[in-house]
């Protein structure tokens, strides 16, 4: 049986970042990246808002807050170093009513607690100077929020990883993980159903929507551990080109649907497109259904029309849908934190689980990768 030092499972943005950073840190170690699809980045990472978040939405001390704040700067640096198109566009978090206005104060305090000092409160006149075509009562301005060309980012992470010796292999689905002396035996199966095995010292589980299934392969009782993933669908509608220029920044209502609120984000991409979304509703588990009903445009307009008054139903067309890898939360609670865990307490030394890496996972990818590397340092340096 062939033997490598580390196997990273899943070539989305998190697995690519993990393979890349591990290879940069330990160029002498063998890092194998196993991906079930024909190439990298065809699942969650291909269906994001492409926003580099500042980190103001997440509870202080959480992985999401800490890794977003550090990950944002690491991502901007990576994009600059490796010619990935990005823009520090800035985000307006808007209040549409008194309840949301009170939320702005909480968010500004939370931003400060998370170490984001550049968020400022804007009165309507100042908002109108930045965004004359939107309607709101007040806003926070977050200048460090931005957008990135995700396709190029994924390609660069793969290229840089290869340059430092990481070995991505596609169309290989991990189907079994067994403990063996000094590490693990990983079984993988190709598209024709042929299986093979490889031994490794360490595993990084970055399998996105399949991360709970991979954890189960290692013998973890996922329900007991709180690792079960629920698919939460989000849809996007794009705005007609002639109206895309009427908005210049990212516009996020203070209370957004993804966090159990009522607003829908307004996002721009590197091509200048304006899109609305994602909304949020749970999908039947195990199903991958990316269909969008054009009739949902009316529901989007009912929400977004209150802050983008220039929009009409004919301006909207169905764009993409995506599935979030959500961990179970009590009804009405905000999404859970990421699971980033070196499973030593489950007697799985060298096995790092990255589970429930939903938004802001794109922003955090390099920080998550570095943290996984820190967790594996005693084994890889030893
Ligand atoms: C609607 C939506 C919008 C988002 N917008 C943003 C945003 O604007 N900004 C932001 O910071 N974050 C955003 N996110 C979050 C971000 O997209 C995710 O955190 C990130 O893409 C997760 O990457 P990943 O590599 O963990 O997962 P994925 O990209 O899903 O990759 C996992 C990979 O693992 C592979 N895999 C699974 N099982 C196996 C197996 N058994 N064997 C081999 N391979 C396997 C899959 O094929 C897949 O390629 C958004 C998420 C969603 C759903």
2.40.50.660, 3.30.9.10, 3.90.700.10, 3.30.450.20: which CATH number matches 91-143+230-327?
A: 3.30.9.10
Tell me, what's the pLDDT at 149?
Answer: 98
Instruction: Please give the distance, rounded to the nearest whole angstrom, from the Cα atom of residue 303 to the centre of ligand 1.
Output: 27
CA dist 67 → 85, 113, 165, 333 (Å) = 22, 14, 26, 21
Rg (CA), the chain: 21
Instruction: Please give the distance, rounded to the nearest whole angstrom, from the Cα atom of residue 10 to the centre of ligand 1.
Output: 9
Instruction: Please give the distance, rounded to the nearest whole angstrom, from the Cα atom of residue 45 to the centre of ligand 1.
Output: 4
212 lines ligand 1 (CB under 6 A): no
Tell me, what's the pLDDT at 348?
Answer: 98
Instruction: Please give the distance, rounded to the nearest whole angstrom, from the Cα atom of residue 266 to the centre of ligand 1.
Output: 21
Report pLDDT digits (tens) over 215-250: 999 999 999 999 999 998 999 999 999 999 999 999
Residues in the chain: 382
Question: Counting Cβ atoms within 10 Å, is residue 53 exposed (0-12), middle (13-18) or buried (19+)?
Answer: buried
Tell me, what's the pLDDT at 287?
Answer: 75
Report pLDDT digits (tens) over 40-82: 999 999 999 999 999 999 999 999 999 999 999 999 999 999 9
- The residue nearest atom 21 of ligand 1, judged by CA position, is 45
Beta strand 281-282 with 229-239 is antiparallel
- List, for the chain, all residue ranges whose pLDDT scores fall below the cut of 50: none
Tell me, what's the pLDDT at 341?
Answer: 98
Ligand 1 pocket mutation, candidates 34, 43, 204, 222, criterion most atoms within 8 A of CB: 43
- Cα distance between residue 179 and residue 181, in whole Å: 7
Tell me, what's the pLDDT at 293?
Answer: 87
- The domain spans of the chain are 2-47+151-228+336-381, 91-143+230-327
Ligand 1 pocket mutation, candidates 232, 361, 366, 372, criterion most atoms within 8 A of CB: 361
Which CATH fold topology does 2-47+151-228+336-381 show?
Answer: FAD/NAD(P)-binding domain (3.50.50)
With beta carbons less than 8 A apart as the criterion, state whether 352 and 343 touch.
yes
34 lines ligand 1 (CB under 6 A): yes
Tell me, what's the pLDDT at 335?
Answer: 81
Tell me, what's the pLDDT at 366?
Answer: 99
278 lines ligand 1 (CB under 6 A): yes
Q: Pinpoint the alpha helices (H) of 35-87.
A: 63-81
Tell me, what's the pLDDT at 262?
Answer: 75
Ligand 1 pocket mutation, candidates 41, 359, 369, criterion most atoms within 8 A of CB: 359
Strand order in the sheet with 86-87: 51-52, 146-148, 86-87
Give the dihedral sign, CA 261/262/268/269. positive
Ligand 1 pocket mutation, candidates 44, 55, 237, 354, criterion most atoms within 8 A of CB: 44
């Amino acid at each position: 049986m062939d033997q490598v030092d580390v196997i990273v499972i899943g070539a989305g943005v998190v697995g690519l970042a993990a393979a890349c950073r591990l290879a940069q840190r330990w160029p002498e170690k063998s890092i194998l990246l196993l991906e079930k699809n024909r190439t990298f980045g065809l699942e969650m990472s291909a269906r994001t808002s492409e926003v580099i978040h500042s980190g103001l939405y997440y509870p202080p001390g959480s992985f999401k807050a800490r890794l977003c704040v550090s990950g944002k700067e690491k991502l901007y640096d990576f994009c600059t170093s490796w010619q990935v198109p990005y823009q520090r566009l800035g985000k307006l978090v808007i209040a549409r009513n008194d309840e949301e206005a009170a939320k702005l104060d909480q968010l500004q305090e939370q931003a400060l607690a998370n170490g984001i000092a550049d968020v400022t409160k804007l009165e309507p006149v100042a908002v109108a100077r930045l965004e004359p075509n939107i309607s709101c009562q007040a806003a926070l301005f977050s200048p460090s929020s931005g957008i990135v060309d995700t396709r190029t980012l994924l390609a660069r992470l793969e290229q840089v990883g290869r340059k430092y010796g990481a070995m991505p292999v596609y169309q290989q689905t991990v189907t079994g993980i067994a403990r063996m002396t000094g590490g693990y035996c990983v079984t993988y199966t190709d598209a024709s159903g042929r299986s093979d095995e490889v031994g490794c010292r360490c595993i990084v589980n970055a399998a996105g929507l399949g991360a709970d299934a991979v954890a189960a392969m290692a013998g973890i009782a996922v329900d007991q551990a709180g690792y079960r993933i629920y698919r939460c669908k989000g849809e996007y509608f794009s705005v007609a080109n002639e109206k895309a220029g009427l908005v210049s920044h990212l516009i996020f209502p203070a209370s957004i649907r993804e966090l159990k609120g009522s607003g829908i984000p307004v996002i721009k991409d590197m091509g200048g497109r304006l899109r609305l979304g994602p909304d949020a509703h749970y999908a039947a588990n195990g199903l991958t259904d990316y269909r969008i009903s054009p009739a949902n445009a009316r529901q989007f307009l009912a929400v977004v029309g209150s802050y983008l008054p220039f929009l009409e139903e004919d301006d909207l067309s169905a764009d993409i849908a995506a599935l979030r890898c959500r961990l179970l939360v009590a009804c009405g609670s905000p999404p859970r934190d990421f699971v980033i865990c070196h499973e030593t307490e489950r007697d799985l030394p060298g096995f790092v689980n990255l589970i429930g890496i939903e938004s802001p996972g794109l922003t955090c990818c390099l920080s998550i990768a570095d943290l996984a590397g820190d967790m594996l340092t005693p084994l890889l340096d030893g």
